[in-house]
Amino acid sequence: MDPTAHLLERLLLGALLPVWMLAGLADWACHRRERIELSAGWKESALHLLMLGELGLAVLLLLWCQVTATVLLLVLVACVLHEITLWLDLTYASSKRVIPPIEQWVHGLQMGLPWLGLLTLCIAHRGQALALLGLGPEAVDWSLRLREPPVPAAAKAAVLAGAALMVVLPFLQEWQRARAVRPASPPSGRTR
C-alpha cells in the first residue's frame, strides 16, 4: 500500500470512525432525551438497528477484507441501503414526533460521514475505484480475501470496543426501552 493510502486508512480508523461513533451516541442521547419510546416507539428503534446493521457489516468487511472492487461495491451498496433506511426513519419519526435542531444536526453527520468514508476509501484505493468505472490501468479485482497486511489487532479491538460501547449497546438499550412501552391507546400524533 502506498504511503498516501496508508495515511488515509489511518485517518479513517483514527478520526472519521470515532467521530461517526460519537455521532451515533449523540443521536441515542437525543432519542433518550426526547423519550421516543412514548412517541415513535419500537418502529423507529427498529429502523435504527437496521441502519446500524447495514453500515456495521461494511465496517467489519473493511476491517478484515482486502479493499478490492468487490469490497468497494459492497460498501457503496451499504451506504445506499443506509440512506434509504435513513429516509424511511426520518419520514416515520417526523410523523410521530418533533425532531429538535440538535438531533437534525447529528443526523447530518450520520448521513455525510459514511459517504466521506467511502470517498476516502476510493481515493486510498483509487486503482480499484477507477477499475470499477472501466478507467485506469488496473484490472477489476472481484475477489473477497483477507487483508494483507491485516489491520493491527489493537486497532480492530479499539473499533469493536468503541462500536459496542458507543453504538451497539446504547441502541439495544433504546430498543429494549421502546419494546417495554405498551401504550394504552394509539398516539395522538406528534408529541413535544
| pLDDT score recorded for residue 184 | 46
Query: Helices in the chain by DSSP H: which ranges?
Result: 3-11, 17-34, 41-64, 69-96, 101-124, 126-132, 153-163, 169-180
Q: Region 158-186: what's the mean pLDDT?
A: 89
Cβ density class 81-110: b for 16+ within 10 Å, e for less: bbeebbeebbebbeebbebeeebeebbebb
**Residue 165: which domain range?**
3-178
Q: Region 57-77: what's the mean pLDDT?
A: 98
CA nearest to 54, candidates 72, 80, 30, 31: 80
Residue 173 lies in a domain: yes
Residue 68 lies in a domain: yes
| pLDDT score recorded for residue 189 | 56
pTM of the model: 0.91
Residue 189 lies in a domain: no
Q: Region 32-43: what's the mean pLDDT?
A: 95
C-alpha torsion sign, points 178, 183, 185, 191? negative
| pLDDT score recorded for residue 54 | 98
Encoded amino acid at 173, one letter: Q
Distance of CA 172 to the CA centre of its chain: 15
Cis bond upstream, residue 149 (ω within 30): yes
Q: With 60 as the cut, is the pLDDT of residue 83 above it?
A: yes
Q: What percent of the chain has pLDDT over 90?
A: 93
| pLDDT score recorded for residue 153 | 97
Residue 164 lies in a domain: yes
| pLDDT score recorded for residue 191 | 53
For the chain, how many structural domains are there in total?
1
Apex 185 CA angle, 181 and 37, nearest 5:
30
Name the least confident of 27-31, 116-120, 185-189.
185-189
| pLDDT score recorded for residue 190 | 57
Distance CA 59, CA 78 (A): 10
| pLDDT score recorded for residue 123 | 97
Encoded amino acid at 1, one letter: M
Distance CA 107, CA 174 (A): 17
Residue 185 lies in a domain: no
pLDDT digits (tens, 9 = 90+) for 129-164: 999 999 999 999 999 999 999 999 999 999 999 999
Residue 184 lies in a domain: no
The cell for 95 is 410523523
Residue 187 lies in a domain: no
Residue 77 lies in a domain: yes
Q: With 90 as the cut, is the pLDDT of residue 172 above it?
A: yes
Distance CA 131, CA 129 (A): 5
